[in-house]
Amino acid sequence: MNSQKDFVAAADVIRKSTSQKPTVGLVLGSGLGSLADTLLDRVVIPYESIPGWPTSTVFGHQGNLVIGRLAGQTVAAQQGRAHFYEGYTMREITFPIRIMKELGIGTVFLTNAAGGINPAYKVGDVMLIEDHINFPGMVGANPLMGPNDESLGERFVGLAQAYDRELRNLAIEVAREHAIPLHSGVYCALSGPSFETPAEIRMLRTLGADTVGMSTAHEVLVARHAGMRVMACSGVTNVAIDTVDSDFETNHEEVLEAGKVIVPRLTTILQGVLKRFPT
Ligand code: HPA
């Protein structure tokens, strides 16, 4: 199991690659990695060169940590992430969040590609996550299980304010100013890799989920455990299919394609939030 020693070793490799000191972390999901290409003075560190960092085998996840400046802040952006369905443990795939903390990052902005469950959501829409339903976490696949290292965080983590209200309000303000439609809603995390059946989608809708995906929630748990502030957005890459009479099938290509519309919207929101960032 990863320990503080492993976090320091990984962080040291990153610190040797750049003198920049990031204070904000970004995690860029499927098809959203190009947001990191807009960073100024960027240094690109392949995940393979960082000890313990999980690499993704999924197309659309570039596999680099990019450090540079965005809207006046120094940020460390993960271009792609590893997933539980690739065979990693929850602890392994949340290692990068621990490293961000070790680097001195106090705020993380997480993004994901997600299916739209709320009937009002369209492909290309962005949803600010205000809360989540974490199915894997609720039934035992929780990265905080096992012995708790008190130096990293508390045993029992409260999640009533997991998604920082001040940051959410800033994002809503920025979106309004730029006339970007921005939903606020509940993200549902599942383990994947199969997409949901129509019956599962109807069930999730009944339970109050607005988007569904295969990431993010476990990262939020670790970030909150580590005392970091969290903001997160879903990019709606496909409309979840809720009837067996549909002729469509969700596929990874449409998920990646929709990223092209979502990235500029996310970039604008993020830049606006970073500019007004509470210091
Ligand atoms: N379901 C689960 N994960 C996803 C989806 C979806 O429809 N779209 C993108 N990631």
Residue 58: count other Cβ atoms within 10 Å of its Cβ. Answer: 17
In angstroms, what is the span from residue 108 Cα to ligand 1's centroid?
Answer: 22
**pLDDT tens for each residue of 91-139:** 999 999 999 999 999 999 999 999 999 999 999 999 999 999 999 999 9
Catalytic residue among 61, 132, 218, 225: 61
Q: Is the pLDDT of residue 260 over 90?
A: no
Residue with more model confidence, 200 or 253: 200
pLDDT, tens only, 2-36: 788 899 999 999 999 999 999 999 999 877 888 89
**CA-CA-CA-CA torsion sign (152, 53, 257, 261):** positive
Q: Which of 98, 88, 125 is nearest to 233 (CA)?
A: 125
**C-alpha distances out from residue 245 to 41, 197, 252, Å:** 51, 12, 21
| Whole-prediction pTM | 0.95
Mean per-residue pLDDT, 254-261: 80
Average pLDDT (192-215) is 97
Distance CA 122, CA 183 (A): 11
How many Å apart are CA 95 and CA 93, to the nearest integer?
6
- How many angstroms is it from 53 CA to the middle of ligand 1? 24
Task: Give every CB contact of residue 58 below 8 A, 6+ residues apart in sequence.
Answer: 30, 80, 83, 86
Query: Does residue 252 carry a catalytic annotation?
Result: yes
Query: 73-93 pLDDT, tens per residue?
Result: 999 999 999 999 999 999 999
| pLDDT given for residue 248 in this prediction | 85
Active site annotation includes 238:
yes
Residue whose CA is at the smallest distance from ligand 1 atom 6: 115
> In whole angstroms, what is the distance from residue 209 CA to residue 118 CA?
7
Please state, as a whole number, how many other Cβ atoms lie within 10 Å of the Cβ of residue 55: 16
Domain residue extents for the chain: 4-276
Neighbouring-strand partners of residue 64: 46, 79
Atom of ligand 1 nearest to the CA of 113: 9
Q: Domain 4-276: which CATH class?
A: alpha beta
pLDDT grade for 198, boundaries at 50, 70 and 90: very high
- Residue of minimum CA distance from atom 7 in ligand 1: 115
Beta 211-213 vs 73-79: how paired, if at all?
A: unpaired
- Residues in the ligand 1 pocket, defined by CB under 6 Å: 113-115, 195-196, 212-214, 237-238, 240, 250, 255
Mean pLDDT (the chain) is 93
Per-residue pLDDT, averaged over 247-261, amounts to: 80
Kindly indicate the confidence band of residue 256, based on its pLDDT and cuts at 50, 70 and 90.
confident
**Does residue 225 have an active-site annotation?**
no
Ligand 1 pocket, mutate which of 212, 248, 257 (most atoms under 8 A from CB): 212
Distance 190 CA to ligand 1 centre (A): 9
Contact 107, 188 (CB under 8 A): no
pLDDT score recorded for residue 279: 57
30, 255 contact by CB (below 8 A): yes
Q: Phi and psi dihedrals of 219, rounded to 5? A: -70, -35
For ligand 1, the distance from its centroid to the CA atom of residue 92, given in whole angstroms, is: 22
Question: Interior CA angle at 127 toward 221 and 196, to 5°?
Answer: 75
**pLDDT: which is higher, 258 or 184:** 184
215 is catalytic: yes
For ligand 1, mutation pick of 195, 204, 246 (most atoms within 8 Å of CB): 195
